[in-house]
Amino acid sequence: MSVLDRIGQKLLFTFDPEAAHGLSIAALRCGLPAAGRPVRDERLKVSVCGIDFPNPLGMAAGYDKNAEVPDALLVLGFGFAEVGTVTPLPQAGNPKPRIFRLTADQAVINRLGFNNEGHEAAERRLAARKGRPGIVGVNIGANKDSADRIGDYERGVARFAQYASYLTVNISSPNTPGLRNMQAREQLGELLSRVIAARAAASAKPPVFLKIAPDLVEVELEDIAAEVTEKQLDGVIVSNTTISRPTLRSASVTGETGGLSGKPLFERSTIVLAKMRKLLGPDRAIIGVGGVDSTDAALEKIRAGADLVQLYTGMIYAGPALPGRILTGMVSFADKERLKSIRALRDISLDKWASKPL
């Protein structure tokens, strides 16, 4: 981290985590922090689902829930930004406090519960940026008290298809009761069928991804892969936060309920990623998420089968210059190894990761 990043982190860490998050969004809205020179290199480019990404590194959903700062995130160096999760109706989410830093582990536990301003507010902001360059995905979810959760996803597709570079169907948050049950094969089959039908009826036809949990067992992964393949979904995002608690040093908050993200998630999420790549084959798109906080971590996701990589928690601990550092490291690695493309690394470590037990 630079001295400026350290000062900024120290200042933000004096605030409650949720207040600090709000301050960081406000800073980006105001054009702070100033980004360095963008990292551009032909070897970083990757084409996925017909979209030409300038580099494989994206900001994951959960940071910009209300589509307030996607363009500011792109200025930081990200090749793409994913906004949301957005639900049809505004909802406050779970009671506070609901975000906990595990500083010794470079991790976070959150139980936010899809707190967001709803479709209307997000659509207004995305409509205002329509026509601007930059790849922006929209992550859609269901309201906690919805009588028809699949209908909520259909409404998300219908509303955001015209604005989204891609759509993500999020059924893997642990913080909305019963949501992860939609990963079961029967419910998933109906969900994907209706989502694909909703896209077919929309004025635009962006790729659709399914975001899954890391807490699945082998047979569940097999069922998901079968439904994704049968319904011809464009890809999968692996993974959301985990309800498991690997060995952690931050004992005072380890017992808090919610999803764990950050460095401790890297191992399991990468195993799930590789197993999903084996199940889906080489052509279906996969975005790898979980514990990405360095060039080495990002490259290892690609070696394990990812086409693209996302981060969020890593930037909390490494600062806003992290995307630039990761991409600069990728360019240096390509120089050292004389690679024509970073994509050439994909699947090199697939067998190693896929053979590990869950």
Q: Do the Cβ atoms of 243 and 259 come closer than 8 Å?
A: yes
Catalytic residue among 24, 172, 173, 239: 173
Q: By C-alpha distance, which of 145, 237, 161, 242 is closest to 196?
A: 161
Whole-angstrom Cα Rg for the chain: 19
- Among 207, 212, 119, which Cα is nearest to 166's? 207
Instruction: Report in angstroms the alpha-carbon separations of 62 from 86, 111, 356, 357.
Output: 10, 11, 29, 28
261 catalytic? Reply is no
For residue 31, count other CB atoms closer than 10 A to its CB: 10
Catalytic residue numbers, as ranges: 173
